[in-house]
């Protein structure tokens, strides 16, 4: 039975991952500052350390005795990173360095493997889609720049310090427990909740921007498959479906799933908003042995059932 550290384990993706690890018989320690996550999300059976992942002492203590680490704690909102550039940089990049540093071999123990969350935001405004992992990394947001920084420091961790890592570039993840009340949350949870309450949906820009929406269970499956593949070459993989949905298509699909016609309110486009973001699943599917993704309609039904 392995002991695994999950940073951000009280958040949306981290709480699903923690539950899956416990279900397969692992022990889990969670490090979380409860800023966007909550104790209510914590899977029963996990141990919680409340603390900041950018604090090296806290991370070192949390890492003690673990067999592997999933590093998910971050400020996940692109919009919030635009507003609070330096503050979010400390959490999104410096904290990753603190995790990689604590994972180095020490006092006779081997280096600890780390699987960490990167993002499709590292690609910036792509010239073509679907994006494979060799597409140029040209982030356009502070969030994307910090996630690319995580990938670069993971290479340093491997090449210089012998720390095995693997980075997963999540596209737009959705599912139950993604906080629907926060304006910084993902668009699917915001839209489902607003439609449920009979409120109009805000479309930023013309609504023809596209995203690759991936259900949280598929992300958990990718994380579980990834950790044993961590290595000092610091590989990175997309986690996506390969299927584009425009915001207008998405609102119509949510309307069908809720049995209501959505009212749309157009608002100005968000600063630095990516126009099209769709990933290629091929490399991850092959290397990580992933199953076909959950279809959008099925995932939307799960979100609506949870609300
Ligand atoms: P989330 O906000 O639900 O979870 C993040 C968790 O980290 C929360 O529990 C929060 O309390 C914790 N946290 C934040 N700052 C912290 C700090 N300084 N110290 C300790 N804990 C801290 O977000 P999520 O959607 O579950 O995202 C998880 C990871 O996946 C993040 O790294 C995010 O950047 C990445 N990601 C998410 C998406 C997505 O669509 N949700 C897409 C790409 C990448
Ligand atoms: C998401 C992730 C981010 C990241 C990126 C990967 C969240 C919160 N953020 O950023 O972590 O890694 O994907 O590319 O999941 N929109 C509206 N109305 C709303 C809310 C959003 O029109 O009420 C639009 C928004 O302008 C954007 C799209 O919906 O074009 C998706 O927005 P988002 O905030 O869900 O996610 P994104 O792609 O900015």
List Cα–Cα distances, 154 to 60, 166, 233, in angstroms.
Answer: 17, 8, 9
Is residue 112 within 8 A of residue 103, CB to CB? The reply is: yes
CATH topology of domain 3-172+216-239: Rossmann fold (3.40.50)
What is the per-residue pLDDT for 8? 98
Average pLDDT over the chain, rounded to an integer = 96
- 76, 81, 98: residue to mutate for ligand 1 pocket, most atoms within 8 A of CB: 76
Ligand 1: residues with CB < 6 A are 8, 10-14, 32-37, 52-54, 72-76, 91, 117, 119, 170, 172-173, 186
List Cα–Cα distances, 200 to 91, 176, 196, 252, 266, in angstroms.
Answer: 33, 21, 10, 13, 10
Stretch 123-131: mean pLDDT, rounded?
93
What is the per-residue pLDDT for 256? 95
What is the per-residue pLDDT for 272? 76
Whole-number Å distance between alpha carbons of 198 and 207: 20
Give yes or no for residue 271 having a pLDDT over 90.
no
Stretch 242-255: mean pLDDT, rounded?
97
Assign domain 176-211+243-278+294-306 to its CATH superfamily. Answer: UDP-galactose 4-epimerase, domain 1 (3.90.25.10)
Token readout for 152 is: 């670069």
Closest CA to 7 of 77, 56, 61, 69: 69
In tens, the pLDDT along 140-188 reads 999 999 999 999 999 999 999 999 999 999 999 999 999 888 878 899 9
Ligand 2: residues with CB < 6 A are 76-78, 119-121, 170-172, 185-187, 190, 202-204, 209, 211, 247, 270, 273, 277
Whole-number Å distance between alpha carbons of 28 and 163: 21
Is residue 176 within 8 A of residue 306, CB to CB? The reply is: yes
Residue in the block written with tokens 């960490």: 116
Give yes or no for residue 262 having a pLDDT over 90.
yes
The bound ligand whose nearest atom lies closest to the alpha carbon of 75 is: 1
Percent of the chain with pLDDT over 70: 100
Residue 34 pLDDT level (bands cut at 50, 70, 90):
very high
In tens, the pLDDT along 51-89 reads 999 999 999 999 999 999 999 999 999 989 999 999 999
> Which H/E stretch holds residue 60?
helix 56-63
Give yes or no for residue 108 having a pLDDT over 90.
no
What is the Å distance from ligand 2's center to 270 Cα? 9
> Residue 131: CB partners within 8 Å, gap ≥ 6?
120, 123, 238, 277, 278, 279, 280
Whole-number Å distance between alpha carbons of 241 and 16: 19
What is the Å distance from ligand 2's center to 187 Cα? 6
Q: Has the ipTM of the complex gone over 0.90?
A: yes
What is the per-residue pLDDT for 181? 83
What is the per-residue pLDDT for 107? 81
Stretch 205-228: mean pLDDT, rounded?
98
In tens, the pLDDT along 175-206 reads 999 988 887 889 999 999 999 999 999 999 99
- Residue ID of nearest Cα to ligand 1 atom 37: 76
Is residue 11 within 8 A of residue 19, CB to CB? The reply is: no
- Residue ID of nearest Cα to ligand 2 atom 25: 204
Q: How many CB atoms lie within 10 A of CB 199?
A: 14
What is the Å distance from ligand 2's center to 166 Cα? 24
Known catalytic residues are: 143
Q: List 168's β-bridge partners, or say none.
A: 117, 237
In tens, the pLDDT along 284-295 reads 999 999 999 999
Domain ranges (residues) in the chain: 3-172+216-239, 176-211+243-278+294-306
What is the per-residue pLDDT for 1? 86
């Amino acid at each position: 039975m392995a002991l695994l550290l999950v940073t951000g384990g009280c958040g949306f993706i981290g709480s699903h991952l923690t539950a899956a690890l416990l279900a397969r018989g692992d022990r889990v320690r969670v490090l979380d500052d409860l800023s966007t996550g909550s104790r209510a999300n914590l899977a029963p059976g996990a141990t919680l350390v409340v603390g900041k992942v950018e604090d090296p002492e806290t991370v070192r203590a949390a890492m003690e005795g673990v067999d592997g680490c999933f590093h998910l704690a971050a400020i996940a909102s692109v919009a919030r990173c635009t507003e609070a550039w330096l503050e979010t940089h400390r959490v999104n990049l410096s904290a990753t360095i603190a995790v990689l540093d604590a994972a180095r071999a020490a006092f006779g123990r081997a280096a600890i493997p780390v699987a960490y969350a990167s993002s499709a935001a590292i690609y910036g405004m792509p010239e073509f889609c679907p994006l494979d992992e060799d597409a140029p990394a040209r982030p356009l947001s502070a969030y994307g720049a910090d996630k690319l920084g995580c990938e670069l420091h993971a290479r340093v961790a491997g090449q210089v310090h012998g720390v095995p890592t693997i980075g997963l570039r999540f596209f737009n993840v959705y599912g139950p427990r993604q906080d629907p009340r926060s304006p910084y949350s993902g668009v699917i949870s915001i839209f489902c909740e607003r439609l449920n309450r009979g409120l109009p949906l805000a479309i930023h820009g013309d609504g023809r921007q596209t995203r690759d929406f991936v259900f949280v269970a598929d992300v958990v499956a990718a994380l579980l498959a990834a950790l044993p593949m961590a290595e000092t070459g610091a590989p990175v993989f997309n986690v996506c479906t390969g299927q584009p949905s425009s915001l207008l298509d998405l609102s119509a699909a949510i309307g069908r799933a809720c049995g209501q016609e959505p009212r749309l309110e157009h608002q100005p486009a968000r600063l630095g908003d990516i126009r099209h973001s769709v990933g290629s699943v091929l490399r991850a599917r092959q290397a990580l042995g992933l199953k076909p993704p959950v279809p959008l309609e099925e995932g939307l039904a799960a979100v609506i059932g949870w609300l």
